[in-house]
Structure 1
Amino acid sequence: MSEDVSRVSPSRLATYATCPRKYEYDKEWSVESPEESRRYLDRGLAYHGAIEDTCAWATDQPESPTDDEIQTYAHEAIERRWDEHADRDEYASDAQFAYDRQVAIAGVDAYFAAAGLEHARNSVEQEGWLTCDRGDVHLRGRVDNIVRTDEGLQIIDYKGSLSGIVSGRTHNRIEAHHAGEEYHASILKSVFQAATYIEGAKATEHYEPGMDIEFTFYGVLYNVDRTPGHDGISVEVTGKSRDVGWIYEAHEDTIWSLIDDCYTGIVDGEFTPEPWEEIHENACGDCSYQGMCGDYIGAEVSLDD
């Protein structure tokens, strides 16, 4: 495969699927969103880094570490990563900063008190790049964790929550969006990731023909319970996983048709928002580029008239 092909990430595909004009501002022109805050980005970097550090450490040990050893290392890793990534200036108060720190630490502790133990012991790659080539479409994405299982491989993508991730309840929206019957761009990023990572994993040294490949989103901070007390607020965090490999298999042809449409639009530089009425109704309200977007301003002027 030639190195000069245009490789596109699942995130870029999803931005284009939401609105081609937003893609142009964000990815082509690199216009900084005026409302963008690094608070949640940095918190994500902290728990991603702590999980990566722990899995790498566990797999490098000459003997399989005990549960206590993994948990101790993970707790120290998230404290270290928090200090590295978190910026007090992004918070309104010291109390807010301390609360987010407590949530991040509790989330990593909870993960390595449950599924994270086996994930750490059986991880074969952390924060690795996967590439996927299908016809004229060339994708590339960074995978959080690849774990060896009894059946094959499990690819894990860590999120704060599972909001917006495709599920058994929403997967039929893929077909409705593709057919133009409804607008459901919000779930497409998760299925674009599934396509890229499942197919990309087949091109790695970890894959053997016949292996089962599962793709899992893990919400590290899925549920946060807050308990006020004399010493402040204490938190208890539980994570939750969602396997979506079966959804990819059920809608594979449709997903790749959507990917092909977005990829072609990106490579060809076609950024006209289509279908405009659906984009205007569903995507413009949360877009940070409203003030500079001629399409949005023109539509609002027309509505006012």
Structure 2
Amino acid sequence: MKVAFVGKGGSGKTTLSSLFIRHLASQGLPVVAIDADINQHLGVALGLDEERAVKVPAMGERLPEIKEYLRGDNPRVSSADSMVKTTPPGAGSRLLRVGGDDPVHALGQDVDGATLLATGPFTDDDLGVACYHSKTGAVELYLNHLVDGPGEYVVVDMTAGADTFASGLFTRFDLMFLVAEPTRKGVGVYRQYTDYARDYDVAISVVGNKVHSEDDVAYLREHVGDDLLTWLGQSSAVRALEQGRPGVTLEPENTEALDTMRGAVDARTKDWDKFHRQAVQFHVKNARSWASRAVGEDLEAQVDPEFRFPVALAG
């Protein structure tokens, strides 16, 4: 299952995504963690020290090699240079499996049983001339070509705010966890996200964070209704983890919240046809808007109308 953590800056999105990743990995489940936030903090949140975290190879810097691998011998993709972030797979493309032996997962860093991938931060060369989507394009291509099976998890810590919706990346997930504080700003982001996602059948569940009391829960229920899945309260264990103290056990009520989140993910039904259809939809939209002109060829021709994901492979 492909899972995204989204929310406004400061909501605790990275902290909750790291707790969920730790929770899955501690049960021996295969999990890939992807730091797709412009502020690259997921590695540290998972327990890496700063020195090790910055050494995780950046997917954004390996984009040409990733493209070359993924295109395989797909005759509709003339070269790696002609691939853009939305290029969908077709006959001859190489598909990925969670934890597979491929150049993409080879970039990962093992962190207590989870494989950490990172888009990479802005560099001095990027400032003033590039947007962060030049980095997250590697994640979109990865997800477009990934065949994930039952009991396999890819958890993406997305960039904060509505910038999540600036590309088709938001349609690549089986479930989006929107981390919301019990505040007007917190629920305001919820309304914004649901407005954007409404026309694309994107599943969003709200996870309350920094909940102090039943009044906070009631506030969230009043403003997000049945979309409120669960919530986490103040946690001395989380503070200890953020301070780098090992061997800390999360409080039972917060562990139960993580169990509820996993249950919601596991309950999702895969719709591979919709997944591919939306990839094609955004690719055609990008091709007509800018990509064909930028590359110098008709990128709509990259769409393979006969392609179907090998669902038997996914299980």
TM-score tier, shorter chain, comes to under 0.3
- Please state which structure has a larger fraction of its residues in strand: 1
- Please state which structure has a larger fraction of its residues in helix: 1
**Larger radius of gyration between Structure 1 and Structure 2:** 1
Higher relative contact order (CA 8 A, sep 6+): 2
After TM superposition, the score normalised by the length of structure 2 is: 0.26
After TM superposition, the score normalised by the length of structure 1 is: 0.27
